[in-house]
Structures are given as C-alpha cells and as structure tokens.
Amino acid sequence: ADSDTADEAVRATCDDATICKRFATSKGYWKDPYIQYFTRSVGERKAPEINRGYYARVQGVNHLLDAFIRKAECDCQVINFGAGLDTTFWRLKDENLLPRKFFEVDFPTVVARKIHNIKTKPPLSKPIIETHSTDSLLLDAHSLDSDRYCIIGADLRDISNLDEKLKKFQLNSELPTLLLSECVLVYMTPSQSSNLVHWAAETFHTAMFINYEQVNMNDRFGQVMIENLQRRQCNLAGVETCQSLDSQKERFLKTGWEHADALDMMTIYSMLPQDDVARIERLEFLDEKELLQQLLQHYSICWATKDKLNLGLSQLAF
Ligand code: SAM
C-alpha cells in the first residue's frame, strides 16, 4: 500500500508540470496552443522565478530535441518517457518537424486520462487522424496507436514489459532515436534508471538521450527542495544520481553511451537566444534575482549520444 501511495503521488506530478506550463504560456513566456486542453483552467498565479524556470526547461529541452530531429531530417523516432500530459507531438506537427513516429510512455492511469482528452478534443485528435493513412486506428482506454503517434501505458521500471510493448507498436531499432525524460528518472532508484538508460543504449545504434532533472541536491537549497517533494509523499528514489553534473553523466557513460554532457540550467539560461530571454525578462518584474539563480542551479540537462550512422550527434550542444 505504501508503494501504491508513493506511485500515486508521482503520477500526480504530471498535473503540476502542466499547470505551471499553462500558467507561463498564459503570461506569454512561450506559445503552446494545446496545453489548455489538458488542464481545466489557468490556475493560480505562479511566482516569476517559477515561470522563468519553466521557460528555461522548455526552451532548453526543445533546443536539443529539434536539433536532433533536424540532423536526422525527420527520419527518426522520439520516445518520451514519463510524458505525462506533454504537448510536444502537436508542436512538432505544426512546425513540420514530425519524426517518423512519436512514442509516449507513462503509467496506465495517466495514459488513460490523456487518451480521454485526445478523444474528446478535436484540436488534439485531428493532427493524429490527419497523419494516419488507414481507417484502422487503434484507440482503446489504455493505448492509442496511429502511424505517427503512439501512447503506451507501462511502468518504466519493468524493462522487459516496456520493450515488448514498444516492439508491439512497431518501434524500429534501426532508426535514429531520441529518448527524452523530463523530471522522471528521479522517481526511480539509480539501478532502475540505469537499466532504462542501458536498454536504450543496447537497443539503438544511433541515438540521443535527453534527461532534465534536479542536480546539486546535497547543499542546503537542495535539501529544502527534497523536503518539499517528500512532504507530498513522492518517493525520490533516484535523488542520489542528482548529486552532481558528473553523476548525471556517469549514468550514461557507464551503460554504453559514447558521449555525455551536462549543464545546470543557470548556464543553459545564459546560453539561450538572449533576445528572447530579454523579451521574457520584461514580462514580469523579478525582485529576487538570487532566488532564480539558486533555482536554476538546482536543475540540469544531461544529454548522451551514440552515433553509428555518423550524423554528427556529438556536436549537438547549446
Ligand atoms: N515529462 C512530463 C513533463 O515534463 O511535463 C511529466 C513530468 S511529471 C513530473 C513525471 C511523470 O513521470 C508523471 O507523469 C509520472 O506518471 C511519470 N512516471 C514516473 N515514474 C514512472 C514509471 N515508473 N513508469 C511510468 N511513468 C512514470
């Protein structure tokens, strides 16, 4: 029962991400016309440093993701692990950057909710139907499989089940593949996340893994962040790997990845296109510059590559 409670608390974190992203987009930090279909309302005000943090997260991840898809000229796959209510599939469709197939994996109950939203909201279902070639679209309560978009209910800690399900839905191990996890691995033990990362390195010869999560958690500020999450009964089984940028990279370098890099979000924020950063910094007045810096120093993006096809993946950076 305890582990059920902890998993339920983890599942609920996808609503936080969506609510915060919706609030930031309502303020103009970036555009996402689809996120409104996954939350009931804009919700209460979030502090400017939270909005800037989400801006850095979304822009940072998108920068690497889009660069990978361009390198592969869309002849690739994307797998978003712990995708929650993420809207990237719809953004890529609008920007003419759709990979051959876009997979999402999350717990079956989260997937069921997402499928319900897609089914009942035409702006979400239309792009899926439009990019599908036949009349036979698999759509039931727990999975949705079309030519270009597939959403699977599975536990990421059970690799053989995950592998079986992805293959059932035509995952192609020969295609360049981008794997993404955004605030997901921290909820798994170091050995569980290593197994996932190792499975990816073993399965694909040409791939990139992008992982966004907490870092530098062993200082005072990090301890407060951990306490806040624990108060909500979230099981932070993976927090050990969030000690440093080196421990983030090591998880990949020890499991068969050729190349790994990691930067904290303060560094990434300073490397994002500065005209757009200047624009968003004018949106809301920020009193506590130091708090923003602290917050950004406690999140990171780690990315790893292997590149048998010589696409030049190790050059992808900020
Ligand atoms: N990646 C999304 C985003 O950034 O908007 C959602 C992030 S949310 C903080 C974490 C997500 O990971 C939740 O949707 C949760 O259900 C999922 N998750 C965590 N552990 C998982 C596991 N073992 N198997 C499947 N999904 C998992």
**What does pTM read for this prediction?**
0.97
Q: Which atom of ligand 1 is nearest to 11's Cα?
A: 16
Tell me the CA–centroid distance for residue 134 and ligand 1, in Å: 31
Query: Hey, what are 138's tokens?
Result: 């698999």
**Which residue type does 44 have?**
E
* Ligand 1 centroid, distance to 204 Cα (angstroms): 22
Is the pLDDT at 234 greater than 90? The verdict is no
Which stretch of 2-11, 21-30, 75-84, 223-232 has the lowest confidence by average pLDDT? 2-11
Sign of CA dihedral 295, 53, 253, 82: positive
Position of tokens 């200082």? 219
Which has the minimum average pLDDT: 156-160, 212-216, 225-229?
A: 225-229
Helix, strand, or coil here: 290? helix
* Dihedral angle sign, alpha carbons of residues 148, 150, 156, 161: negative
- Atom index in ligand 1 nearest the CA of residue 157 equals 23
The residue whose CA is least distant from atom 12 of ligand 1 is: 82
Atom index in ligand 1 nearest the CA of residue 57 equals 4
Q: State the pLDDT at residue 109.
A: 95
164 C-alpha to ligand 1 centroid (Å): 20
> Which region among 2-11, 223-232, 264-273 has the lowest average model confidence (pLDDT)?
2-11
Distance 89 CA to ligand 1 centre (A): 16
The residue contributing the CA closest to ligand 1 atom 19 is 184
Which of 90-99, 134-143, 226-235 is the most confident on average? 90-99
Q: Which atom, in ligand 1's list, is nearest to the CA of 17?
A: 5
- Confidence at residue 2, expressed as pLDDT on a 0 to 100 scale: 65
The mean pLDDT value for 37-56 works out to 93
Mean pLDDT calculated for residue range 38-63: 94
- Tell me the pLDDT tens digit for each residue of 275-293: 999 999 999 999 889 999 9
* Rounded distance from Cα 105 to ligand 1 centre (Å): 9
CA Rg, the chain, in Å?
19
Question: Residue 268 carries which side chain, given as an amino acid letter?
Answer: I
Q: Is the pLDDT of residue 26 over 80?
A: yes
What pLDDT score was predicted for residue 140?
84
| Residue among 4, 10, 157 to mutate when testing ligand 1 (max atoms within 8 A of CB) | 10
Q: Which own/partner pairs from 122-130 qualify as long-range (CB within 8 Å, at least 24 positions apart)?
A: 123/33, 123/34, 123/37, 124/34, 124/37, 124/90, 127/89, 127/90, 127/93
Cα 262 from Cα 257, distance rounded (Å): 14
Binding-site residues, ligand 1, Cβ < 6 A: 10-11, 13-14, 17, 82-84, 86, 106-107, 110, 155-157, 182-184, 187-188
* Residue 11 alpha carbon to ligand 1 centre in Å: 6
For the CA of 80, the closest atom of ligand 1 is 1
Worst-scoring range by mean pLDDT, 39-43, 104-108, 118-122, 226-230? Answer: 39-43
Q: Per-residue pLDDT for 1 more than 60?
A: no
Tokens of 96: 């003419």
Which ligand 1 atom is the nearest neighbour of the CA of 14? 8
Mean pLDDT over 96-120 rounds to: 96
pLDDT of residue 231: 87
pLDDT digits (tens, 9 = 90+) for 59-72: 999 999 999 999 99
- Lowest average pLDDT, out of 79-93, 98-112, 123-137, goes to 123-137
Q: Categorize the per-residue pLDDT at 83 as very low, low, confident or very high, splitting at 50, 70 and 90.
A: very high
Nearest CA to 5 among 243, 232, 157? Answer: 232
Instruction: Write out pLDDT tens, residues 239-276.
Output: 999 999 999 999 999 999 999 999 999 999 999 999 99
Nearest by Cα to 231 from 1, 6, 4 = 6
- Report the percentage of the chain scoring pLDDT > 90: 86
Q: How close is the Cα of 53 to the center of ligand 1, in Å? A: 18
Residue-averaged pLDDT of the chain: 95
